[in-house]
Structure 1
C-alpha cells in the first residue's frame, strides 16, 4: 500500500474538500462520547460531511477492528469472526443508486448481512386521532413492502450472495436507525446535494448517537 502525506496551508475543511475532489472515499474521525449529546462530531467533521460530494466515512475515536465483528463462541471480542450487519437507511420514495450500491458493496466485501431500514407511512387517520382501520393499515403496509421490494430487486439480482433483511421504521426514522446500528459494522445513509451544505435530521441523529462507523453518501 502506497501512503503519502501532505501539509496544506489552508483551513482544514477547505484543504480536505480539495484533496477529496478526485478521491474514491474520504475518511474522518470523531471525538469521544459526551454524556449529554452523544458523540462529539467536531466542526471540521460536520463541515466536510455537509459539503463533500464524495462518499465519506466517519470512524469513532478508539474504534477497534474487533468492534465490527461478532463476538467469539465465548462472548469475547474477536477480529476473526463473522462481520456484524451492514445497515442501510433507505428512502424508498426517493432511492439513489449510489447509496444503495455503496451498502451492497460494503456488505459483499464483508460477507455480511445487509439490514435495510426504511420508513413506513402512518395512515392519515392517525393524525386526527380517529379509530384505526386494520384493513387500510394492512393495505398500506403491503404497498410499502412492494415499493421496497421493487427498489431492492435489481440489487438482490446483482449481489446474489448478500443476505438482505428488511426492517420497517414507523415514526422517527433516525431513532430506528440508531437502534438498528447498535450491533452493526457499518451504517450507510444518504445526503441530498441539492439541499445545500447541511446534514438532514436522520443523518444528524445517526452521526451523534451511533457507535459504528457511518458512511454518508452524497447524491442528487
Structure 2
C-alpha cells in the first residue's frame, strides 16, 4: 500500500480520554484506507478562567506530550503503513483543533471525552468545533459493541435539497470508495401538516392517494438527481436510494443502526443568533451508535 504524495492528513484531537483514544484508532484505520498521513494534535492551553484553577502550565504541557508520544508509538506499531505525526499546540482546544482541521481531510474527535486534563473534547468544546470547523468533523464514541471502524458497514448520508447536499454526498461516496463499501442515501418525506378541520383517515391496506404518490415520485426524482453525479464519479460504489415517511432524524437514526458511518451536512454561514447545529445533527450525535460525520457546506 503506497501513500498518495499529495494526500492531506487526517487530524485527530487527543485529550487522554478513552473516547479520544477510540477516535485515534478510528482515524488510523481511516488513514490506512485513504492512504493518508495521520496527525495527532493536543491543544494544551486552557481558557483563562479555567487555567487559574488548573494545574501548572508546565505540568499540563508535560502530561500532554507524554500522552501524545504514547499514542503515536502505539498507532505507529499497529498501523505501520500509516505515517503518524504528533504535535503539541500552544493554543486553546477550539482554536487549535479548528486551525489544524482546516488543512485536513477531516478532523476526528472523541465524543463525551473525560480527560485527565479538563476533558477538552467534552460538551461545549466539541460543539464549538463542530459549529466552527471548515472541514468535515467526525465524532467517535468508545464503548463495547460500538462499530468504530471502516469494517462496520455501509455509509449512510442524509440528502437535503440540492445544492446543499453536494458536499455531504461527495464525502460519503469518497469514504465508501476508500473502504470498499456502499452508500445508502436517505431522504425523508415529512408528513403533511394540517392546521385545522377533520382529516381523512387511511384504513389499513388502503392505497395511497394520488397526491401521496405524486409526492413520493417527486422525492425519488430529487434523490436520484442528488446522487447522479457521484454515481458517475464512483461507479464501483454500490448505492441504495431510500425514501422514508416521517422525520429526517428518525429516518437517519434507523439507517445508522446498521451503518459504519452516518454523514450529515451543516450550513457554513448562519446568523450569529442561530443555532450552529440543527436538530437532526443533534439527534444523531446523541443517539447514533456509529460515528457521525458533520460536513460543512455553503
TM-score class normalised by the smaller sequence: 0.7 to 0.9
Residue correspondence of structure 1 range 64-79 to structure 2 within 5 A: 68=149
What 5-or-longer segments of structure 2 have no aligned partner?
1-81, 114-120, 202-207
- Cross-structure match for 1:31: 112
The CA RMSD over aligned residues, in Å, is: 2.5
Q: 1:112 aligns with which of 163, 177, 181?
A: 181
Instruction: Give TM-score, length-normalised by structure 1.
Output: 0.80
CA contact (8 A) 2:149 2:260 kept: yes
Q: Distance in 1 between matches of 2:184 and 2:243?
A: 10
The answer as to whether partners of 1:86 and 1:107 remain within 8 angstroms in 2 is yes
Number of aligned residues = 200
* 1:1-220 pair list within 5 angstroms: 1-31=82-112, 42-62=123-143, 68=149, 83-123=152-192, 126-128=194-196, 129-131=198-200, 134-195=209-270, 198-220=276-298
**Gap runs ≥5 in structure 1:** 33-39, 70-78
Q: How high is the TM-score relative to the length of structure 2?
A: 0.61
Looking at structure 1, the residues matched to 214 and 162 of structure 2 have their Cα atoms a distance apart, in angstroms, of 17
Listed one character per residue, the Cα deviations across residues 147-187 of structure 1 (whole Å, up to 9, x for unaligned) are 11122222212222111112223222112211110111111
* Cα distance in 1 between the residues matched to 2:104 and 2:169: 19
Q: Is the 8 A contact 2:186 2:252 kept in 1?
A: yes
C-alpha distance in structure 1 between counterparts of 2:153 and 2:292, whole Å: 14
Contact 2:140 2:148 in 1 (8 A): no
SS at match of 1:112: coil
Greater Rg over alpha carbons, structure? 2
CA distance in 1, matches of 2:112, 2:190: 35
Paired with 1:10 and 1:157, the residues of 2 have a C-alpha distance of: 43
Q: Which has the higher contact order (CA 8 A, sep 6+)?
A: 1
Whole-Å Cα distance in 2 between the matches of residues 5 and 186 of structure 1? 25
